Chain A
Amino acid sequence: MMEQLKIKTYCHIKNHQIFVDGRMVFEVPEAGSLKEFLKLTFKHFKPGYAKFYKMDEISKLGFMAAEILLQDKPYSKRQPEDTGVVLSNAHSTLVTDNQFQESIRDDQNFYPSPSVFVYTLPNIMIGEICIRHGFRGEQAFFIFENFSANFMADYINQLFLSHKIKTCIGGWVDQTQESYEAFLYLADGSEEEGQQYKPHTGNEIERLYNLIK
């Protein structure tokens, strides 16, 4: 049988609720802001990572999703250069872009900050996840109107089949002023005795993505 990637675990964060493999692991019932929710999430899961506080909101969201996804997972212990991170969204870094834009709007009140500017690139989130976990494999950030499970599957499978990665985090992390959503999964090529994992295909990724409405 030809080697193929399988989906080992996945994580959803939306509506102030967090699910791992489809089961809810944390929720904040109060309808607070994303900022507040992320703070509580950080306190609950205790990654013990001070750099979290300097990140913009969408990087925090992606960072926490990866943190929760990888907790106690052996696949995250692959060789650094064998692990890829491939993410996507619809709105790039629009919320942070607006924040930076506010700082350069007029010459009389001009205060652009490098610590905001650097987060106006969507792949910075990938950088934060790679720094935290020491991943040095392939990376790419794609923009689609809607999550494209088929594209994600084809792109990551191609990286795997051309021997550039052995394991990969894939998914969607999006944020607008009104809403946010994160869906991350871990795909890995290893076999395990007695475990039935679903193959890393567009259909399966689509099914998992839609599991939490």
Chain B
Amino acid sequence: MVYFIADNIVSPLGFSTTENFDSLLRANTGIRIISDGNLYPEPFPASMIETDILEKAFTGIPAEASFTRLEKMLILSIKDTLSKTDIDIRSERTGIVLSTTKGNIDLLDPEKSPEIERDRIHLWKLGRLITDYFGNPNEPVILSNACISGVLAINLAAGLIQQGKYDHVIVTGGDIVSRFVVSGFMSFMSLSPAACKPFDKDRDGLSLGEAASTIILSKHKTEQTNLIFKGGASANDANHISGPSRTGEGSFIAIKKALAEAGIGATSIDHISAHGTATVYNDEMESIAIDRLGMNKVPVSSFKGNFGHTLGAAGLVETAILLTEMKCNLMIKTTGFNELGVSRDINVVSETTNKALNTCLKMASGFGGSNAALIIQKA
């Protein structure tokens, strides 16, 4: 069995999972208007960590070298997660998986952080920096598969433990709000002018966010946890590189395969944490996949209204929240959602509700027609 033994979220809403969860209970959002000409010529909404708060949190962290914004977020996230377990990150039985879409992409700008070696733009180098910092002897595995990276990284980590390659795997992930990414999504015209509204009839695009998040999986049960990995899969739409399938095919296949691995039916799912980016097409696609699987009554949440879309961190951030929901038997309402605006009748969580949560599903979808699913259960 593979257990979820510890987790962390570093976001504008807090620097631990507990801080973030409490913030979500109050329906807080990190999304605000950013006016920073270095990031985009016009003001735009995004969920960004205040630099001075990040710097303050990083003071007191022993560091011989300079680190980028993303590296600091990842190091803080891993440190906090490790403090909740007694696993040895320096052991060869502990693996490290890094999930990111663009890593230190801001270093492409030669004027940005001149003190940082330029080769840290390479994702393998970023992975090495993390393993070296913590003294881990293994080669890091880096997953860069658009917005499903985080969920795929958890599925991969569970597989590495099942194969017997490692006893514990630290899955960490992060992405920053950069000029590169903001300009890209702006050019796609996929950003909402205000905080995003997942599954709502007035939804008009996504909000970007930045976060780092870490989840540790282990073959050993701990006293604090009884949540286990039950199944996971990915699938491609084979339809379009920048738009989701109109039939939800890839998402449907990924969930179906994850359910098969878990050995359960779709009706056993108590709660779904959707991708829910609040673009017209993504949310519609997910509603179709959920409907095709007959999960119309299963309560669905999206946390993009709180965190924004944190890209390579999203699957980890949202799984960390889902794990806490399961521990508390509590479903958090979907911030930004008012009235259902997808064609299929699905049950979006509009009020924070108590419910016995034994088996839950995490969904993710992204550019390249990629989709992933993950099933978590109480042992």
Interface on A for B, CB 8 Å cutoff? Answer: 80-81, 85, 90-92, 94, 97-98, 100-101, 103-105, 107, 110, 112-114, 117-118, 120-124, 126-128, 130-131, 133-145, 148, 151, 154-155, 158, 162-164
Contacts and interface: CB of A to CB of B under 8 A. Distances in A.
A66 B111 CA distance: 39
B37 interface: yes
Contacts of A128: 241
Nearest to B184: A117
B268 interface: no
B41 interface: yes
Given A97-B108, A154-B163, 10 more contacts: A97-B180, A100-B180, A117-B188, A123-B146, A123-B368, A126-B236, A127-B368, A137-B235, A139-B236, A155-B156
Contacts of A122: 144-145
25 contacts: A81-B235, A81-B257, A90-B122, A91-B122, A92-B123, A98-B108, A100-B184, A110-B41, A114-B188, A117-B187, A117-B188, A118-B367, A123-B146, A123-B366, A127-B236, A127-B370, A128-B241, A139-B370, A140-B234, A141-B145, A144-B124, A145-B128, A151-B141, A164-B233, A164-B261
B156 A120 contact: no
B236 A130 contact: yes
A92 B123 CA distance: 8
Closest A-B pairs by Cβ, 5 of them: A127-B368, A117-B184, A143-B142, A130-B236, A112-B187
Contacts, number: 159
Nearest to B38: A107
B240 A131 contact: yes
A138 B124 contact: no
Contacts of B125: 145
Contacts of A117: 183-185, 187-188
Interface in B328-374: 366-370
A120 B368 CA distance: 11
B238 interface: yes
A45 to B, nearest CB: 21
Contact of B249 (A98, A123, A136, A140): A136
A140 B242 contact: no
Nearest to A55: B241
B273 interface: no
A136 B250 contact: yes
B237 interface: yes
Nearest to A51: B241
Given A107-B37, A164-B233, A130 B102 contact: no
Contacts of B366: 123
B55 to A, nearest CB: 26
Interface in B240-284: 240-242, 249-250, 253, 257, 260-261
B159 A158 contact: yes
